[in-house]
Amino acid sequence: MKKMVILGGGYGGLTVANELLEKDLPKDTVLVLVDRMPYQGLKTEYYALAAGTLADIDIRVQYPVDPRLILKFGEVTGVDLDRKLILFENDEPLSYDWLVLGLGCVDKYHNLEGAEQYSESIQTLSSTRKTFQKVNDIAPYGQVTIVGGGLSGVEMAAELRESRSDLNIRVLDRGASVLSAFPGKLQSFVRDWMLEHDIEMRSHICLSRLEGGNPVQSAGAHPYRCHHLDGRYSTKPDCSAAAAS
């Protein structure tokens, strides 16, 4: 039997697997789906999980059950393209005839000093769980700062306000408004909603670094003090496994 391996059981990898199982998988081919988790997490709901408005079990999607599909769980450390092998942290290599990379994205910090060290992430299910723990351990009336006023930052602020009415929530953005890439009518609606729900918005903020979790503006301006920092910077493709080859 020939072997097609899909690395990553997220939206891309799972969609490819379902399409092949429903339509195009040759009879002489077995499909192997590789992921670190035994289920997919609904990434569009990670904001709600981090804020505490949804439970972990509510955002899980089970993988399909099919005799032509083999599920393999583990931490991939690299891909040997010459020998056609998937390398694992604590397991034997897995051979393949065809390979699909669906590894998703990782956080992109735009070379902001201290960002990876001092801010929290909701890029993976594991990191989102840690963010949930830290956010919900903040003392009453503590300060949370969200860097980035795009869709991710706005969604995080809204879910957090629903979960913790006591917290002081601040959104920093380098643009003129939250959702600056979207139509003005939508910007205005979101700004009004945030003002109504006591969410502070700061525009034209260019950060130079994070110091112990406190964002510091460029040009020597004073830092913004906070008890928790959630960075909604941006993402880039996760090519770590492929690059390891």
Q: What integer is the mean pLDDT of 118-145?
A: 92
Q: Give the separation between CA 56 and CA 42, rounded to whole angstroms.
A: 10
pLDDT at 190 over 70: yes
What the block records as the tokens of 34 is 């590789």
Q: 97, 79 in Cβ contact below 8 A?
A: no
Q: What integer is the mean pLDDT of 177-185?
A: 95
Indicate the DSSP class of residue 135.
H
Confidence tier at 244 by pLDDT (50, 70, 90): very low
Average pLDDT, rounded, for the chain: 88
Name the residue among 128, 136, 169, 162 with its Cα closest to residue 42.
128
pLDDT at 245 over 50: no
Q: What integer is the mean pLDDT of 188-197?
A: 97
Q: 178, 153 in Cβ contact below 8 A?
A: yes
SS3 at position 57: helix
Question: Residues, the chain, total?
Answer: 245
Name the residue among 218, 185, 201 with its Cα closest to residue 113.
218
Question: How much is the pLDDT for 184?
Answer: 95
Question: How much is the pLDDT for 130?
Answer: 94
SS3 at position 193: helix
